[in-house]
Amino acid sequence: MYRKEKRWPRKHKRTTGLPGTIYLNKNRYWWKVQLSGDEKPKARPLKPAGCRYATTDWLVAVEVARNLYQDHIYAGESAALPEQIDSIAALAAAYIQFCKGYYLDENKQVKHEVNEIQYSLKPPDGTVCLLASE
């Protein structure tokens, strides 16, 4: 006799690890979230790349929401970096600034990896490199 697979109960909350709420609107998934820079939560359709309408599949919706969230975070971090990097020293300083925001522990303290990166980027004689970047 054929036995059906066990499915998720309809009332079970699906966790995604994303801020906001993913919900159905006329059989299409939308994401209501307040990202940095927004005054209030905004509903966003979860449209995969190249599609005209929002998706009807839960797993695709979660993946699209993760990509949107990742793009938003990346856009915010790139805005904090200097616009013009004209030397190797400026490039190293921008990378160290990025590392100080990236390598954080659970208490928002800078990890020891940043010190190792600073040490590895420092020239052997201690002077600042003034060569132009290519």
Regarding whether 96 and 64 lie in a shared domain, the answer is: no
* Same domain for 95 and 116: yes
Q: What is the pLDDT of residues 65-93, one digit of tens each?
A: 988 888 887 666 555 555 677 777 777 77
pLDDT surpassing 70 at residue 128: no
Q: Domain limits at 101?
A: 81-134
- Does residue 3 belong to any structural domain of this protein? no
Residues 110 and 61 in one domain: no
Same domain, residue pair 69 and 85: no
Kindly state whether residues 90 and 106 are assigned to the same domain: yes
Residue 82 is predicted with a pLDDT of 57
Amino acid occupying residue 82 = P
- Token pair for residue 68? 């949107």
Q: Are residues 28 and 75 in the same domain?
A: yes
pLDDT in tens, 99-109: 888 888 888 78
13 part of a folded domain: no
Question: Same structural domain for residues 100 and 72?
Answer: no
Torsion of CA 54, 25, 66, 33, to 10 degrees: 130
Which H or E element spans position 96? helix 88-102
Residue 12 lies in a domain: no
Whether 62 and 93 map to the same domain: the answer is no
In a domain, 91, yes or no: yes
Within-domain flag for 1: no
- The alpha carbon of 129 is separated from its chain's Cα centroid by a whole number of angstroms, namely 32
**Is residue 57, in this structure, part of any structural domain at all?**
yes
Q: Give yes or no: residues 72 and 115 share one domain.
A: no
Sheet of 21-25: strands edge to edge?
A: 21-25, 28-33, 42-45
Record the pTM: 0.52
> Residue 44: inside a domain, yes or no?
yes
Distance CA 28, CA 37 (A): 26
Q: How many CA atoms lie within 13 A of 76 on its CB side?
A: 12
Residue 8 in domain: no
